[in-house]
């Protein structure tokens, strides 16, 4: 019987510091064992438990896309014991991961539709996975118009800067990058994410919005989409909860009868409405 508590060893290949406050880093990891790499089949939206023996585990969304072969990427914000230990690690360190865990962005449901991806600050990791996936080669034709609206407080806090620049140059995705407050070098847009959403005003016709962000951003962004005519079935988000087992047995991450690790983390707003309001 497979032991679901046992992590698979991976080695940290590269570490990229994403932000000028140094507290968000992207770790590219490679499986030590071929059979683990083959078995790890995931889709955007899922997460894995990153394991550091001696410290513990932490659930982190997978930021790479399954179309990125040969490696996985995790973008991690330094917050507690485990993430601090991870941030203090060097390239070449062996750590563990358990997964893939959780459900995925609703790729089947998105097929043939326009997709609006909205993210804020650190809450963009699995949205980046989704966008990379949708834009990749043969996948692109399965979706109609793709719009990305992403912002951070300052230019230094934008994550995946190079990737955002590359998307801006493409003509198969409309990219709107913004910051709350620019600096002397910033040439781009200034404005809060909800404001930019109002300006972009994506049509709700045959469109699904996928929104992640800090609570304050969500609070002001959702009304914009409701005003644009988006129904709750057509707005998706990803929840965060304190997790331990990651597969719905330790009882910790539930919202009502749903476990965020197993029945989520992806939920439509309609699904969330049916749950008890405790997150």
Partner 1 sequence: MVKKIEHDRIQEIIAALMEKGILYAPVEDEEGVNFHLVDDPARVTLDFYNTVQGPKCAFFPQTEELIRYRMTHEGADAAEVEPDESPQVLFGVRPCDVRSLAIMDELFCGGGIVDPYWKNRRDNTTIIAYAFDTVDTVDFYGSFGIGAADDTGADILMVKVDGDLLLDARTEKGTALLAALDGLDEAAAEDEKRFAAAVEGAGALETRRIDTDCVARDLPGIFDSEFWQTEAAPCLNCGVCTFVCPTCHCFDITDETLFSKGRRVKTWDSCMFTDFTLHASGHNPRTKKHQRLRQRVNHKFSYYVTNCDVISCVGCGRCTRFCPVNIDIAGIVERARKRASSQQINNQ
| Nearest-approach distance from CB 40 to partner 1, in angstroms | 15
Residue 3: count of CB within 10 angstroms of its CB: 6
Rounded distance between C-alpha atoms, residue 271 and residue 192, angstroms: 27
Residues 253, 261 contacting (CB under 8 angstroms): yes
| Nearest-approach distance from CB 254 to partner 1, in angstroms | 7
Give the DSSP H/E element, type plus range, for residue 36: helix 34-39
| Nearest-approach distance from CB 34 to partner 1, in angstroms | 19
Nearer to partner 1, 76 or 208 (CB): 76
| Nearest-approach distance from CB 204 to partner 1, in angstroms | 30
Q: What does residue 222 show for φ and ψ, rounded to 5 degrees?
A: -55, -45
| Nearest-approach distance from CB 187 to partner 1, in angstroms | 32
Nearer to partner 1, 92 or 223 (CB): 92
Residue entry with tokens 């809060």: 192
Residues 114, 200 contacting (CB under 8 angstroms): no
Nearer to partner 1, 47 or 133 (CB): 47
Cα distance from N-terminal residue to C-terminal residue, the chain:
34
| Nearest-approach distance from CB 125 to partner 1, in angstroms | 15
Nearer to partner 1, 80 or 112 (CB): 80
* Residue ranges that bind partner 1, judged by CB under 8 A: 1-7, 9, 53-58, 79-81, 83, 92-96, 240-242, 244-245, 247-254, 256-257, 262, 276-279
Nearer to partner 1, 55 or 67 (CB): 55
Rounded distance between C-alpha atoms, residue 183 and residue 154, angstroms: 7
Nearer to partner 1, 56 or 106 (CB): 56
Rounded distance between C-alpha atoms, residue 231 and residue 252, angstroms: 30
247: which 2 tokens? 């597969």
């Amino acid at each position: 019987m497979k032991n679901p508590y046992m992590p698979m060893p991976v080695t940290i290949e590269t570490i990229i510091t994403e932000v000028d406050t140094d507290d968000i880093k992207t770790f590219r990891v490679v499986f030590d064992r071929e059979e683990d790499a083959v078995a790890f089949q995931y889709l955007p939206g899922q997460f894995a438990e990153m394991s550091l023996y001696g410290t513990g585990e932490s659930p982190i969304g997978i930021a790479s896309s399954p179309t990125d072969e040969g490696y996985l990427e995790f973008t991690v914000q330094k917050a507690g014991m485990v993430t601090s230990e991870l941030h203090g690690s060097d390239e070449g360190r062996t750590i563990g991961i358990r997964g893939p865990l959780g459900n995925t962005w609703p790729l089947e449901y998105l097929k043939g539709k326009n997709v609006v991806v909205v993210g804020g600050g650190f809450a963009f990791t699995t949205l980046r996975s989704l966008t990379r996936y949708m834009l990749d080669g043969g996948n692109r034709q399965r979706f109609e118009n793709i719009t990305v609206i992403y912002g951070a407080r300052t230019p230094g806090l934008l994550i995946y800067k190079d990737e955002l620049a590359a998307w801006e140059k493409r003509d198969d995705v409309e990219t709107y990058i913004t910051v709350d407050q620019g600096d002397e070098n910033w040439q781009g847009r200034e404005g809060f994410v909800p404001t930019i959403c109002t300006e972009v005003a994506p049509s709700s016709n045959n469109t699904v919005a996928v929104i992640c962000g800090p609570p304050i951003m969500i609070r002001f962004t959702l009304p914009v989409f409701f005003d644009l005519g988006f129904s709750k079935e057509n707005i998706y988000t990803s929840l965060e909860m304190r997790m331990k087992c990651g597969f719905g047995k330790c009882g910790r991450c539930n919202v009502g009868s749903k476990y965020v690790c197993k029945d989520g983390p992806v939920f439509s707003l309609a699904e969330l409405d049916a749950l008890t309001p405790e997150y």
